[in-house]
Structure 1
């Protein structure tokens, strides 16, 4: 009789052992979630390349994929710009819900070919100190190393790691767009 009780109870015992001793990681997202209450959307004093004042608020209602870099756009910068463009395109009919924004943290001129190559990316010049004060980073990284996500309400909500895997970001984007779909 003890053997029958042990066999019947073994799934329950195994589940408790797994949950409390092994502690499997249940996280399914690739990017790190950010508490938007700790990082509210500030006024960055940003402007378009033509000098017209505009803020990130102008893109409310859309998911914003955000990267920060200087105008001299290094290889890592161009890779992120390329990844952001491809990630948006990979969303298919949902791609219009995503806006790509590059915050340029200095006043140096941009390469014309770079502007043409990433046409459709919103390029805004903003104060580097305000950007650094607003965006959280992982230990050992800077704001230039990450891609950030801002939700349609204007809340900073996710940060992807340095040298992020675009396929894993694509899965997160798909989940975000699916979960936030209306109707």
Structure 2
């Protein structure tokens, strides 16, 4: 007479699948979890670039600024001189969003207007404004007016070679680089050119969208 319990076959059947998973199954689950974490962390960056460089939405959601294609990274050889007289690579500013204006150091009315617009667009971003640096690239040795220095103390004022800058920053057939405000992403890629005599409220809309969808910088 057999002494085996009638319940023992069921127990053996249940134990089989669990035993088969073991450490190998745990490692597989771990890899899937790691992949999921990477996708979640990288999604905002991918989405921002996909939206602006691939989808190119039509109608009311079209960007105000002209997208620069292909991307133009800050040239490694482009040097900039600060108020202290020391030269640094302009590419050293990578890491935050840059709003860039180009003008003579004398800074006439059009120059002052662009500096004002950049300052205001940055200020309207609230806590996100710390992700933006306003940059004025001066193309000559003309003295900067004291009122400009005082009003835009937070703007980086850097002396650059005008030919090198003009070769990097694209204008239109009817404009020059000094007519525009440019936007550079935290990776150092020239991303957008705003029109001459731009509407600051529309610049603000583009910048706000970019900061919302991108977590870089």
Identify the TM-score tier after normalising by the shorter chain: 0.7 to 0.9
1:130 aligns with 2:164: yes
Structure 2 equivalent of residue 53 of structure 1: 87
* SS in structure 1 of the partner of residue 87 of structure 2: coil
User: 123, 137, 140: which one pairs with 1:103?
Assistant: 137
Q: Distance in 2 between matches of 1:65 and 1:87?
A: 10
1:41 aligns with 2:50: no
Structure 1, unpaired ranges of 5+: 1-24
Contact 1:88 1:95 in 2 (8 A): yes
Task: Give per-residue Cα distances to partners, 1:69-92, cap 9 Å, x unaligned.
Answer: 001111110000000000000000
Q: Distance in 2 between matches of 1:70 and 1:91?
A: 28
User: 13, 24, 32: which one pairs with 2:66?
Assistant: 32
1:140 aligns with 2:179: no
Larger C-alpha radius of gyration, 1 or 2? 2
Contact 1:68 1:143 in 2 (8 A): yes
* SS in structure 2 of the partner of residue 129 of structure 1: helix
Contact 1:36 1:155 in 2 (8 A): no
Structure 2 equivalent of residue 180 of structure 1: 214
Structure 1 equivalent of residue 123 of structure 2: 89
Q: Distance in 2 between matches of 1:92 and 1:56?
A: 26
Q: Distance in 2 between matches of 1:154 and 1:45?
A: 14
1:159 aligns with 2:196: no
Contact 1:31 1:161 in 2 (8 A): yes
Runs of 4+ in structure 1 displaced over 4 angstroms? Answer: none
* SS in structure 2 of the partner of residue 34 of structure 1: strand
Aligned residues: 158
TM-score under structure 1 length normalisation: 0.82
> Comparing both chains, which one has the higher relative contact order based on Cα–Cα distances under 8 Å and sequence gaps of 6 or more?
1
TM-score under structure 2 length normalisation: 0.69
Report the Cα offset of residue 36 of structure 1.
4.5
Q: Distance in 2 between matches of 1:98 and 1:41?
A: 17
